């Protein structure tokens, strides 16, 4: 996963990470939308496993999650779709879901069973946003056992010690949240993101990707000026709702151009210790 980000950086662009939920508006269409995102220039895919209490997610993603759950899709269905997706694509994908889904996965060893199923389906990593770093040892152990990378969130309100802990625990990339609050499209980007990326680069050499609020090519270009990767979620979900794979492909192509247009490689003086 980190290799894909660094490969994009080596080609003179920020990596583009696109989030879409499994099962929205139905399972086949969600897979087609993810495949369209990959075809249009996404470097990594973030597959959301719907959950009834998604604390990080704003209204667009919440509504999409509800549609998938109302259709009766389960995490096992989501895993099966990811396996089909992996068979058709050659870019990494990771799961984004909540700890309750992982802990209560229908397998004899629950948490380990979820990690194993995710890895067997071809997923490269996981974002579990409600899992505190301080309580993550059981997850990190089972994820490492099956070669699944872990991604933790870092916020501008965190002190330097917490940022270092989040970066150390992240074996894929560090997810820098551009603003406080839930996901969603925004007219302008927060001024918190760039200083946060600088602080993270002082404590880690792992790739730092910025998400929450990125929705346009201009947003992507702005973030590409200081981050290794750009994460887009709500805008992609809205495109899937409005126009399916065709609309997703159009949006992702524009975002990918923004990631190339705005990219600035970090100066050596900013490299992590």
Q: Among the options 35, 43, 46, 194, which is catalytic?
A: 46
| E runs forming strands in the chain | 15-21, 44-48, 93-96, 125-127, 149-151, 153-154, 174-177, 208-211, 229-232
Count other C-beta atoms under 10 Å from residue 218's C-beta: 16
Count other C-beta atoms under 10 Å from residue 22's C-beta: 26
Please say if 57 is a catalytic residue. yes
Q: Are strands 15-21 and 208-211 parallel, antiparallel or unpaired?
A: unpaired
Q: Among the options 57, 78, 194, 228, which is catalytic?
A: 57
Count other C-beta atoms under 10 Å from residue 272's C-beta: 13
Element of type H or E holding 4: helix 2-10
Please say if 7 is a catalytic residue. no
Q: Exposed/middle/buried for 260, CB within 10 Å: 0-12, 13-18, 19+?
A: middle
- Residues with active-site annotation: 46, 57
């Amino acid at each position: 996963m980190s290799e894909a980000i660094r490969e994009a950086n080596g080609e003179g662009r920020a990596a583009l990470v696109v989030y879409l939920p499994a099962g929205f508006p139905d399972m086949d269409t969600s897979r087609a939308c993810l495949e369209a995102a990959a075809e249009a220039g996404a470097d990594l895919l973030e597959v959301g496993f719907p959950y009834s209490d998604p604390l990080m997610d704003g209204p667009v993603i919440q509504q999409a999650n509800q549609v998938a759950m109302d259709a009766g899709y389960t995490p096992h269905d989501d895993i099966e779709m990811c396996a089909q997706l992996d068979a058709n694509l050659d870019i990494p994908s990771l799961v984004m879901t909540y700890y309750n889904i992982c802990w209560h996965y229908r397998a004899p060893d629950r948490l380990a069973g979820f990690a194993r199923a995710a890895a067997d389906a071809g997923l490269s990593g996981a974002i579990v946003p409600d899992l505190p770093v301080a309580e993550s040892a059981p997850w990190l152990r089972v994820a490492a056992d099956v070669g699944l990378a872990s991604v933790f969130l870092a916020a501008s309100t965190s002190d330097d010690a917490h940022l270092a802990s989040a970066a150390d625990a992240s074996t894929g990339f560090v997810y820098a949240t551009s603003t406080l609050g839930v996901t969603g499209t925004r007219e302008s980007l927060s001024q918190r993101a760039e200083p946060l990326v600088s602080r993270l680069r002082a404590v880690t050499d792992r790739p730092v990707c910025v998400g929450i609020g990125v929705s346009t090519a201009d947003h992507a270009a702005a973030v590409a000026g200081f981050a290794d990767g750009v994460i887009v979620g709500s805008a992609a979900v809205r495109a899937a709702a409005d126009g399916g794979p065709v609309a997703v492909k159009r949006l992702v192509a524009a975002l990918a151009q923004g990631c190339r247009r705005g990219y600035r490689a970090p100066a050596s003086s900013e490299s992590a210790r």
